[in-house]
Amino acid sequence: MRPAALFRDPPEYPDEGRTGVASAALTTDAHVVRAMRRALELARLGPAGGANPQVGCVLLGPGGELLAEGRHRGAGSAHAEADALSKVPEGAAAGATAVVTLEPCDHTGRTGPCSEALIAAGVARVVFAQSDPNPLAAGGAARLRDAGIEVHAGVLAEEAAALNERWSASVRLGRPWVTAKWASSLDGRIAASDGSSRWITGPEARADVHRRRAEHGAIVVGSGTVRADDPALTARDGTGALLPHQPVPVVVGHHQPAAGAAVHAHPRPLLSVRAHDPHATLVAIAETGARSAFLEGGPTLVSAWLAAGLVDELLVYLAPTLLGGDRTATLDLGVATIADQRRLHVREVHRLGEDLLVVARPAERD
């Protein structure tokens, strides 16, 4: 997918001892494996949760020396391969190896196909980690082979798949990936009886929430939550400064946020969905280009999406406290009997200060 100085000295890449290669011939090619690790680092610098995946590219000369690096910076910008090629003089990439985290695209959208750019540059070999799951863009590997270019796939495939997991799942599902989050006491309450909820969890857990917000394309709350809590729906660091990537703020419900609501100061335009249907909301979110949505509540909204089977991952922050009362994290989920319970698969448990984070997914889909 997707002029500076020409680098001539071999780069110093961190050696983590992980290869994950599919081609045995490449397991001893240290230059390629290290370059793929660097390409993954570059990919992570790109925006997450948007229309395009995070992609990084490293160009190596015939002797394994670093020629150039590139990365994708967001929809409409140069793809990683084109970005790297733009940093070398014309003809300097002839005979080079392009190491890319995702199969080069074979599709003309807002930019041209990366497969054609690599062919025109005269590269001799292309190594990529993950095949492109998007049928509109896939096919680059076959196009490169037809042009006589040596192609290898699967180097650090697991790391690459994890990097773009939500984006790839969104392509397969045909809708944005949905993460639901809530913070509660150990007895499952998200607020005291009077509705106050700041703060149930500690600063470490709250910082983790903001980091995860920034990994998604949109953040979704109900209009009732906006009226009650007046959330800014931004992603911020420990000092309160905005993080580089901000999710699109989405408010669901028939009531428009008040003129003075904090959400109107969000750096991204507000998306107001005048409906309660989760499917319609996902359609509207997809139209913004977002491939993932961070569902923050409240319990009526989260429960509706859980009941509809549209939640792909749950982040549950548990604080060592008891609140009692009836302000539970979820409402009716359509579970009439124990046989109807919605089983989850716990994937991770993290200690964040005094709090716990449980990362779980619906067992039937995980």
Which residues carry out catalysis? 81
Residue 338 has, within 13 A of its CA and on its CB side, a CA count of 0
In the numeric block, which tokens belong to residue 326?
């009836």
Residue 139: exposure state from Cβ atoms within 10 A (0-12, 13-18, ≥19): middle
Burial of 12 from C-beta contacts in 10 A (0-12 / 13-18 / 19+): exposed
Among the residues of the chain, which ranges form H helices?
30-44, 80-85, 114-121, 140-146, 157-163, 165-173, 203-213, 223-229, 278-287, 299-307
Count Cβ atoms within 10 A of the Cβ of residue 252 and give its class: 0-12 exposed, 13-18 middle, 19 or more buried: buried
Residue 56: both structure tokens together: 């990084």
- CA 276 to CA 301: how far, in whole Å? 8
Q: How far apart are CA 285 and CA 128, in angstroms?
A: 30
Is 282 in contact with 293 (CB distance < 8 Å)? yes
On whether the CB atoms of residues 156 and 27 are closer than 8 A, the answer is no
32, 7 contact by CB (below 8 A): no
- Sign for the CA dihedral angle at 321, 325, 327, 328 comes to positive
Burial class (CB in 10 A: 0-12, 13-18, 19+), 67: buried
Alpha carbon 97 to its chain centroid, in Å, reads: 27
Q: Is 284 helix (H, G, I), strand (E, B) or coil?
A: helix
What 3-state DSSP class applies to 184?
strand
